Structures are given as structure tokens and as C-alpha cells.
Chains A and B, each alone.
Chain A
Amino acid sequence: MNSEQQNILQIANIITTGLSILGELFMIISYLKFSHKATYAMKLVNALVVSDLLYSSANILSIFPQDLPSICVTEGFLRQVGADSAAFWVVVISYSTYKQATNFDKSREKSFGKLTCLICFFSLLLAAVYVN
């Protein structure tokens, strides 16, 4: 890949990541603004957005020169945590939709905290494995 193509990739990275971060910030702000009205589904979607924000932060870090190992490690860690937790949250969203559609149970919504802890734990664990 020549330098011109690398420049194009860099520009595409900046534009797409910028758009993503703007979208994610919009969602987080609108969630915080109407947090008193937040439903269980909105909480799940917002958790997915936070994961996406971590992934976008890693993409932003990749713009900087990778000379310092700390930047490289931080980028890798954020990328893995963000992508893995996004995949986990998507599975949780689909499973919750399935359970609530087939057998609605209001008490299931209380499990959000436990789910968050579980997903954070596994994402961090996997990221630590990757980084090491």
C-alpha cells in the first residue's frame, strides 16, 4: 500500500470516527436528558452506545503516531473492550427482546446491573488476554 492510499485510509478513519463519536455523544446526552423516562430497552441500547464509544476512542487513538507503547497498548485495550462488549450487548438486547416478547416479565428488568457487571468482567478479561 503506497503513501497516498494510506493517507486516504487515514482521512476515512478521521471522518467515520468523527461521525460515530458525534452520534454516540448525541445518544448519550439524549439518554441523560431523559434518564427519568428511560426504559429497560433504552438502558440496553445506551450500554451498547458506551461500548461503541470505547471502540471509537480506540480508532481516534490510532490517528496518533504509534511510537509510544502506552498509546498502542491503550488503543488495543479499548478496541478489544469496546468491540467485545458491543457484541455481548447486542446478544443481550436480542435475548431480552425474545424473552419479553414471548413471556413478558417486568422483574427481568432488574437484572440490568448484574448484566452490566458480567459483561464488563468478561470484556475486560478478554481484553487483558489479548493485550498480554
Chain B
Amino acid sequence: MVLGLFYSIIITGAFITLVIYCRLYCSVRDSAAALNIKYFFIYPLILFLCWTPAIVDLFYTNFIGSSTFTLRLVHLIASHTQGFINALAYGAMQRAQMLAAQEESIQSIQSKHSEGGMSWSSESNFIAPSHHRTMSISTINKREDYEITQSLRTALEDYIR
């Protein structure tokens, strides 16, 4: 009975979170918000996945009488690695947030430069022609080196002429 109460709390918690996230996915249209929701959806999903083998093991033991070695091993590995998987999810979320913040700061710098009539390349004492001013700094981060080199070369040629 005690074990049933314990697992029922886990199952109820996982079920509530799944219902909440389904409702949330249906209601949110903003892509940035949806991304945040996706990252926080990972934690209930981890809980659900890590405790599913334990629940299956419980039912199997109750109905059949004894558990199998494979089921017990999967149960043990899944439930005991919950903390490790949570850490991985946390690391992935931190990285995504860091990248998003970096992108945001680049965009804000870019918008400041475009408002001030400067091009991003003015730091290197180089004034790019107008069609190059719209170039995003984020493209550098995306490692589109070839295109940037080509556009710089064209701009330099225009400048020399």
C-alpha cells in the first residue's frame, strides 16, 4: 500500500505536468516563449521516463509474482540516473540561454549601429557601401566566412574605386 501511494504521487505528478504542457503548447503562439516551454518541458519528461520502468516493474511484480533481472536492471539504471539526466538538461538549457543572450546582444549592437548610420565594419576604419550595411554580425557567428569574405572584397573594391 505504501509503495502504491509512493508511485501514485509520481504518476499523478507526471500526469499533471503532461496535461499542463499540452495545454501550454496549444495556447502559446510566440516562438521564443515556445522555446522556453520546450526547455522546461524536459524536466517533467525526464521524471516520466525515469520512473516508467519502476512503475512497470511494480506492476509486473504484483501481477506475475517476481520481477525479471532485465526489468530490475532497467528500473535501477533509469531511476538512478535521473540526477545525471537533469544535469545534462540543465547544461543544455544554460547553453541555449547563453546563445540566445549572445544573439540578442549582437542584434542590439547591430540596431544601434544602423540607427547611428554606421556600418558594422567601421571599427576597422572601413566604410562599407550601403548594401553591405545591412549585413548581420550574427552571420559571422554562423561561420558564413566565405560570403563575408566575398562581400568584404567587393566592398573594398568599391572603396578603392
Which residues on A are within 8 Å of B, measured CB to CB?
1, 5, 8-9, 12-13, 16-17, 19-24, 26-27, 30, 41, 45, 48-49, 52-53, 55-56, 59, 80, 83-84, 86-88, 90-91, 93-95, 97-98, 101-102, 126, 129-130
B40 adjacent to A24 (CB under 8 Å): no
Knowing that A55-B83, A93-B17 touch, tell me 20 more A-B residue pairs with CB under 8 angstroms.
A8-B69, A9-B72, A12-B76, A16-B81, A20-B82, A20-B83, A23-B83, A45-B93, A48-B43, A48-B86, A53-B83, A59-B80, A83-B10, A87-B13, A91-B16, A97-B36, A97-B41, A98-B20, A101-B33, A129-B2
**A-B residue pair count with CB separations less than 8 angstroms:** 129
User: What are 18 A-to-B residue pairs whose CB atoms are below 8 Å?
Assistant: A16-B77, A16-B80, A17-B80, A19-B81, A21-B83, A23-B88, A24-B87, A27-B90, A41-B40, A45-B86, A49-B86, A55-B82, A90-B17, A91-B13, A97-B20, A97-B37, A97-B40, A98-B23
Q: Dominant SS at the B interface?
A: helix
Contacting B47 at CB < 8 Å: which of A26, A87, A126?
Answer: A87
Given contacts A1-B69, A26-B87, A101-B37, A94 and B80 within 8 Å (CB-CB): no
